[in-house]
């Protein structure tokens, strides 16, 4: 019988190299699989629909006039109001949440409805809650569908309710759906060049500002207290302005227009009353003149009889 020839050293070396390559390929495949699975878990956690709380009072903005500034910042109220108040803020900033819940903010909403001011929100990315830019983008894209201010209140509510997990992707997208927005349009807007431009403009405008910071007609205030803000607004008014409301006139709204409008209505009614009074007075004068003529005629007739 023919004896089986043993493998040469070269062949055995080649086999070992092939084995090593197979082992490396197996290790790489395992690592890739782990990364894919881990990444999928992270994506699932961030994208899965999350619990959302929608505040009951977001309808308070329904009758306000809304628009945007030239930079794309959301503007509430009459764009031609004599005073512009800008808030440099972040949805992730605890101090901004405190301002949002303050008497100062409530007063600004009232002045906006009356047409004394218009109110602009400049979105920054400060604060301790994760994903502040995602929150800003969500609000801006809600604004593209007419719901910036509603989402503005929702995001601050979430900061208070959910803390560091407030702005998970899944929660943001669930909120958009809950507010009845077009999710496809929202997704297109989220990373669009338009939204990128607005975010960049906000960062440039707010460079060096703490949040929240209030500007009144371009002048930054030392604090956000009600007394300071009201004084700054009053300093910008001449006292002779006729304010056009910042809400849709004729709509059912909780906030009434400015008192100046009521005064204007009363002043308009006065001339009608005066004309009526003048007409009555004129008739009375004619009657008096007629009576005097009759009296003179009777006196003349009596004198003739005596003669």
Matching residue, tokens 């009608």: 272
- Position 284 scores a pLDDT of 54
Per-block mean pLDDT, blocks of 10 residues, the chain (307 long) = 60 72 66 43 45 90 97 98 98 98 98 98 96 98 98 98 95 96 97 98 96 98 98 96 92 48 35 46 54 53 47
Between the CA of residue 126 and those of 106, 139, 170, what are the distances in Å? Answer: 23, 15, 21
What angle do helix axes 9-47 and 169-178 make, rounded to 10 degrees? 40
The residues with which 75 forms a beta bridge, in sequence order, are 67, 120
- At 271 the pLDDT is 39
Separation of alpha carbons 2 and 89, rounded Å: 90
Say what the pLDDT of residue 187 is.
97
Neighbour count for residue 227 (Cβ, 10 Å):
9
Per-residue DSSP letter, 56? G
Strand order in the sheet with 117-123: 66-68, 74-76, 117-123, 83-89, 213-216, 219-220
Helix (H) or strand (E) holding 121: strand 117-123
pLDDT for the residue 277: 47
Alpha carbon 186 to its chain centroid, in Å, reads 17
3-state secondary structure of 74: strand
CB distance 223 to 81 below 8 Å: no
Number of helical (H) and strand (E) elements in the chain, helices listed first = 10, 6
Q: Which two tokens stand for residue 29?
A: 């495949």
Give, in order, the Cα–Cα distances in Å from 265 to each of 138, 155, 179, 269: 42, 40, 39, 6
DSSP 77: S
12/27 Cα distance (integer angstroms):
23
- Contacts of residue 142, defined as CB under 8 A and 6 or more positions apart, other chains included, come to 148, 150, 151, 176, 179, 181, 186
Q: How far apart (Å, rounded) are the C-alpha atoms in residues 296 and 216?
A: 74
At 220, list the tokens: 């930054």
- What per-residue confidence (pLDDT) applies to 182? 97
Looking at residue 15, its pLDDT comes to 72
d(CA 239, CA 116): 11
């Amino acid at each position: 019988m023919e004896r089986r020839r043993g493998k040469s050293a070269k062949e055995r070396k080649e086999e070992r190299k092939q084995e090593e390559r197979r082992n490396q390929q197996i290790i790489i495949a395992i690592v890739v699989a782990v990364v894919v699975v881990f990444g999928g878990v992270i994506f699932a956690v961030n994208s899965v629909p999350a619990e959302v709380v929608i505040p009951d009072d977001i309808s308070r903005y329904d009758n306000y006039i809304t628009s945007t500034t030239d930079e794309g910042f959301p503007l509430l109220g009459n764009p031609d109001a004599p005073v512009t108040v800008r808030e440099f803020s972040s949805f992730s900033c605890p101090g901004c949440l405190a301002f949002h819940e303050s008497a100062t903010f409530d007063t600004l909403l009232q002045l906006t409805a009356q047409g004394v001011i218009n109110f602009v929100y400049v979105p920054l990315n400060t604060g301790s809650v994760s994903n502040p830019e995602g929150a800003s983008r969500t609000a801006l894209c809600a604004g593209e569908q007419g719901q910036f201010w509603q989402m503005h209140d929702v995001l601050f509510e979430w900061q208070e309710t959910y803390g560091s997990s407030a702005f998970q992707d899944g929660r943001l997208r669930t909120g958009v759906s809950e507010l009845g927005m077009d999710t496809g349009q929202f997704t297109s807007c989220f990373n669009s060049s338009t939204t990128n431009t607005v975010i960049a403009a906000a960062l440039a405008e707010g460079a060096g500002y703490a949040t929240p910071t209030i500007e009144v007609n371009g002048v930054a205030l030392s604090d956000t207290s009600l007394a300071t803000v009201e004084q700054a607004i009053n300093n910008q008014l001449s006292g002779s302005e006729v304010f056009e409301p910042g809400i849709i006139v004729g709509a059912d709204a909780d906030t009434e227009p400015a008192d100046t409008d009521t005064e204007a209505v009363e002043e308009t009614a006065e001339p009608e009353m005066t004309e009526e009074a003048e007409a009555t007075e004129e008739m009375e004068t004619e009657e008096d003149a007629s009576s005097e003529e009759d009296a003179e005629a009777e006196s003349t007739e009596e004198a003739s009889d005596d003669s």
